[in-house]
Protein backbone atom coordinates (compact mmCIF):
# COMPACT_ATOMS: atom_id res chain seq x y z
CA UNK A 1 0.00 0.00 0.00
CA UNK A 2 1.26 3.47 -0.89
CA UNK A 3 2.21 5.65 2.06
CA UNK A 4 1.90 9.37 2.68
CA UNK A 5 3.62 11.26 5.48
CA UNK A 6 1.94 14.59 6.23
CA UNK A 7 4.00 16.97 8.35
CA UNK A 8 2.83 18.48 11.63
CA UNK A 9 2.24 21.76 9.76
CA UNK A 10 0.12 19.98 7.13
CA UNK A 11 -2.05 18.55 9.93
CA UNK A 12 -2.30 21.87 11.75
CA UNK A 13 -3.38 23.65 8.56
CA UNK A 14 -6.02 21.00 7.80
CA UNK A 15 -7.40 21.35 11.34
CA UNK A 16 -7.48 25.13 10.89
CA UNK A 17 -9.55 24.73 7.69
CA UNK A 18 -11.89 22.24 9.37
CA UNK A 19 -12.33 24.51 12.38
CA UNK A 20 -13.65 27.35 10.19
CA UNK A 21 -16.41 25.04 8.90
CA UNK A 22 -17.06 23.50 12.33
CA UNK A 23 -17.30 26.88 14.10
CA UNK A 24 -20.51 27.69 12.18
CA UNK A 25 -22.28 24.94 14.14
CA UNK A 26 -21.05 26.29 17.50
CA UNK A 27 -19.93 23.08 19.22
CA UNK A 28 -20.09 22.97 23.03
CA UNK A 29 -17.65 20.11 23.56
CA UNK A 30 -14.86 18.32 21.68
CA UNK A 31 -14.68 14.54 22.02
CA UNK A 32 -11.33 13.09 20.98
CA UNK A 33 -11.24 9.46 19.91
CA UNK A 34 -8.07 8.13 21.51
CA UNK A 35 -5.32 7.78 20.54
CA UNK A 36 -5.27 9.17 16.94
CA UNK A 37 -7.79 11.91 17.67
CA UNK A 38 -5.92 13.28 20.68
CA UNK A 39 -3.48 15.61 18.93
CA UNK A 40 -5.99 16.75 16.25
CA UNK A 41 -8.55 17.48 19.02
CA UNK A 42 -5.98 19.51 20.94
CA UNK A 43 -5.14 21.52 17.83
CA UNK A 44 -8.88 21.98 17.25
CA UNK A 45 -9.19 23.43 20.77
CA UNK A 46 -6.90 26.28 19.73
CA UNK A 47 -9.61 27.40 17.30
CA UNK A 48 -12.77 26.00 18.92
CA UNK A 49 -12.25 27.04 22.54
CA UNK A 50 -14.22 24.26 24.19
CA UNK A 51 -13.28 21.48 26.63
CA UNK A 52 -11.83 18.25 25.25
CA UNK A 53 -12.93 14.86 26.60
CA UNK A 54 -11.62 11.50 25.51
CA UNK A 55 -13.17 8.19 24.48
CA UNK A 56 -11.39 5.10 23.21
CA UNK A 57 -12.04 2.14 20.92
CA UNK A 58 -9.86 -0.75 19.88
CA UNK A 59 -10.30 -2.19 16.40
CA UNK A 60 -6.87 -3.72 15.81
CA UNK A 61 -5.21 -6.32 18.04
CA UNK A 62 -1.60 -6.19 19.20
CA UNK A 63 -0.48 -7.76 15.90
CA UNK A 64 -2.24 -4.97 13.94
CA UNK A 65 -4.94 -7.39 12.76
CA UNK A 66 -8.50 -6.06 12.52
CA UNK A 67 -10.66 -7.64 15.25
CA UNK A 68 -14.13 -9.13 14.59
CA UNK A 69 -15.81 -6.71 16.97
CA UNK A 70 -14.75 -3.28 18.06
CA UNK A 71 -14.01 -2.84 21.78
CA UNK A 72 -14.91 0.26 23.80
CA UNK A 73 -11.92 0.99 26.03
CA UNK A 74 -12.79 4.44 27.43
CA UNK A 75 -16.04 6.36 27.79
CA UNK A 76 -17.54 9.58 29.16
CA UNK A 77 -18.40 10.05 32.81
CA UNK A 78 -22.14 10.45 33.56
CA UNK A 79 -21.50 13.96 34.94
CA UNK A 80 -19.80 14.96 31.68
CA UNK A 81 -22.75 13.60 29.69
CA UNK A 82 -25.24 15.60 31.79
CA UNK A 83 -23.24 18.83 31.71
CA UNK A 84 -21.65 18.88 28.25
CA UNK A 85 -23.51 16.43 25.99
CA UNK A 86 -27.26 16.31 26.65
CA UNK A 87 -28.96 19.05 24.63
CA UNK A 88 -25.58 20.29 23.34
CA UNK A 89 -23.69 20.30 20.06
CA UNK A 90 -20.97 17.68 20.21
CA UNK A 91 -17.89 17.62 18.01
CA UNK A 92 -16.24 14.19 17.62
CA UNK A 93 -12.64 14.30 16.33
CA UNK A 94 -10.52 11.47 14.97
CA UNK A 95 -7.47 11.43 12.73
CA UNK A 96 -8.79 9.26 9.89
CA UNK A 97 -12.02 7.79 8.52
CA UNK A 98 -10.81 4.51 7.03
CA UNK A 99 -13.46 1.74 7.12
CA UNK A 100 -15.68 4.06 9.27
CA UNK A 101 -16.12 1.36 11.93
CA UNK A 102 -14.76 3.49 14.78
CA UNK A 103 -16.76 6.62 13.94
CA UNK A 104 -19.96 4.62 13.49
CA UNK A 105 -19.61 2.85 16.84
CA UNK A 106 -18.67 6.03 18.63
CA UNK A 107 -21.82 7.76 17.33
CA UNK A 108 -24.00 4.73 18.16
CA UNK A 109 -22.59 4.62 21.69
CA UNK A 110 -23.15 8.35 22.14
CA UNK A 111 -26.78 8.10 20.98
CA UNK A 112 -27.35 5.13 23.29
CA UNK A 113 -26.31 6.95 26.45
CA UNK A 114 -27.11 10.61 25.78
CA UNK A 115 -29.31 13.11 23.96
CA UNK A 116 -27.09 15.58 22.10
CA UNK A 117 -28.75 18.37 20.08
CA UNK A 118 -26.33 17.91 17.16
CA UNK A 119 -23.41 15.61 16.41
CA UNK A 120 -20.57 16.86 14.23
CA UNK A 121 -17.91 14.40 13.12
CA UNK A 122 -14.60 15.65 11.89
CA UNK A 123 -11.49 13.83 10.67
CA UNK A 124 -8.16 15.02 9.28
CA UNK A 125 -8.27 12.49 6.44
CA UNK A 126 -11.15 10.65 4.81
CA UNK A 127 -10.13 7.70 2.66
CA UNK A 128 -12.38 7.55 -0.41
CA UNK A 129 -13.14 3.83 -0.37
CA UNK A 130 -15.98 1.45 0.34
CA UNK A 131 -17.01 1.97 3.97
CA UNK A 132 -18.37 -0.66 6.35
CA UNK A 133 -21.02 1.74 7.69
CA UNK A 134 -23.12 4.66 6.54
CA UNK A 135 -23.53 7.76 8.69
CA UNK A 136 -27.16 8.75 9.23
CA UNK A 137 -28.39 12.04 7.77
CA UNK A 138 -28.54 13.80 11.13
CA UNK A 139 -24.74 13.61 11.43
CA UNK A 140 -22.83 16.69 10.28
CA UNK A 141 -19.73 15.23 8.64
CA UNK A 142 -16.76 17.53 8.08
CA UNK A 143 -13.69 15.76 6.70
CA UNK A 144 -10.41 17.62 6.17
CA UNK A 145 -8.54 16.12 3.26
CA UNK A 146 -10.00 13.42 0.99
CA UNK A 147 -7.41 10.84 -0.09
CA UNK A 148 -7.26 7.40 -1.73
CA UNK A 149 -6.73 4.14 0.10
CA UNK A 150 -3.22 5.02 1.23
CA UNK A 151 -1.50 4.43 4.57
CA UNK A 152 -0.95 7.68 6.43
CA UNK A 153 2.13 7.93 8.61
CA UNK A 154 1.33 10.71 11.07
CA UNK A 155 4.07 12.83 12.64
CA UNK A 156 3.20 11.36 16.07
CA UNK A 157 3.79 7.79 14.74
CA UNK A 158 7.50 8.57 14.26
CA UNK A 159 9.80 6.69 16.64
Applying CB under 6 A, the residues found at the interface with ligand 5GP are 36, 59, 94, 96-102, 151-152, 154, 157
Which of 98, 138, 149, 157 is catalytic? The answer is 98
Would you say 148 and 128 are in contact if contact means Cβ atoms under 8 Å apart? Answer: yes
- Closest contact distance (angstroms) between CB of 90 and ligand 5GP is 18
- Closest contact distance (angstroms) between CB of 87 and ligand 5GP is 28
11 or 152: whose CB is closer to ligand 5GP? 152
Calculate Rg over the CA atoms of the chain: 15
- Closest contact distance (angstroms) between CB of 96 and ligand 5GP is 5
Separation CA 87–CA 29 (nearest Å): 11
Separation CA 3–CA 27 (nearest Å): 33
Note if 64 is an active site residue: no
Nearest to 16 by CA among 39, 38, 48, 62: 48
Catalytic residues: 98
Amino acid sequence: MAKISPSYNDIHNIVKEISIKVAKFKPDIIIAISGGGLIPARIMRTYIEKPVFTVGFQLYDKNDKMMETIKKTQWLDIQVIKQFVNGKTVLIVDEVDDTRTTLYHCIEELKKCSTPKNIIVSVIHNKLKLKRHVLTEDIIYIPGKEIGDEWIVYPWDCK
